[in-house]
């Protein structure tokens, strides 16, 4: 899929088919995260792959949208080893998700519930100074969900996307409200 198309067409996919992710596809998505830039190339992340269904069901109650984690094919918990670097967590998650989209795989980001931070740390076993930046759920899109389409046209995709128009969010040289 074309790179510009992959970036602008990537939508959140929250319901997935039963099809699993092949190992090489998962590896490619992990590599997309690994290759991401970060502050001073500090790479403040670890990726915990969650493939086991029972494991995902156990963790699901600790996130805001449990069904995403229960129903996905695989998830990747992005553990931030420096919790101040949430900007970099966003970069690495977006890299993984755009790469996934280009490979035909749907995804979305998931947040840990504020009241479940300690339980999540205990369950996954990461150290006190770390946090979960996001949990990326992955899978092939269920019917009715957005689908990666290599033949889509960026202009058409952008004309339909549920976002404020460019004129409302762009200004020149200075902020205008």
Q: Which two tokens stand for residue 19?
A: 């099809």
Show the site string, 85-104: x = touches a copy of itself by CB under 8 A, - = not: -xxxxxxxxxx-xxx-xxx-
For the CB of residue 113, give the shortest distance to a copy of itself in the complex, in Å: 14
**In the complex with a copy of itself, which residue's Cβ is closer, 14 or 71?**
14
Residue 159, CA distances (Å) to 41, 164, 165 in order:
36, 11, 9
The Cα–Cα gap between 152 and 149 comes to: 5
CA distance 128 to 5: 39
- Among 14, 16, 21, 32, which residue interacts with a copy of itself (rule: CB under 8 A)? 32
Q: Measured between alpha carbons, how far is 92 from 90 in angstroms, rounded to an integer?
A: 6
Distance in Å, CB of 173 to a copy of itself, minimum: 5
Closer to a copy of itself at the Cβ: 71 or 89?
89
Q: Which stretch binds a copy of itself (CB under 8 A): 7-15, 16-24, 65-73, 135-143?
A: 7-15
The yes or no reply on residue 131 touching a copy of itself (CB under 8 A) is no
- Both structure tokens of 40: 């001073």
């Amino acid at each position: 899929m074309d790179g510009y198309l992959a970036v602008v067409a990537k939508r959140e996919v929250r319901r997935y088919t039963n099809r699993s992710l092949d190992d090489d596809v998962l590896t490619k998505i992990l590599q997309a995260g690994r290759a991401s830039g970060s502050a001073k190339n500090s790479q403040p992340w670890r990726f915990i792959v969650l493939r086991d269904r029972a494991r995902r069901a156990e963790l699901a109650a600790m996130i805001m949208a449990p069904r995403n984690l229960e129903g996905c094919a695989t998830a990747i918990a992005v553990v931030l080893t420096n919790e101040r670097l949430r900007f970099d967590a966003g970069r690495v998650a977006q890299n993984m998700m755009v790469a996934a989209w280009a490979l035909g795989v749907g995804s979305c980001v998931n947040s840990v519930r504020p009241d479940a931070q300690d339980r999540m740390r205990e369950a996954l076993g990461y150290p006190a100074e770390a946090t979960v930046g996001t949990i990326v759920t992955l899978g092939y899109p269920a019917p009715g969900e957005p689908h990666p389409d290599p033949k889509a046209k960026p202009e058409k995709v952008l004309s339909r996307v549920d976002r404020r128009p460019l004129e409302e969010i762009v200004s020149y040289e200075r902020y205008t409200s």
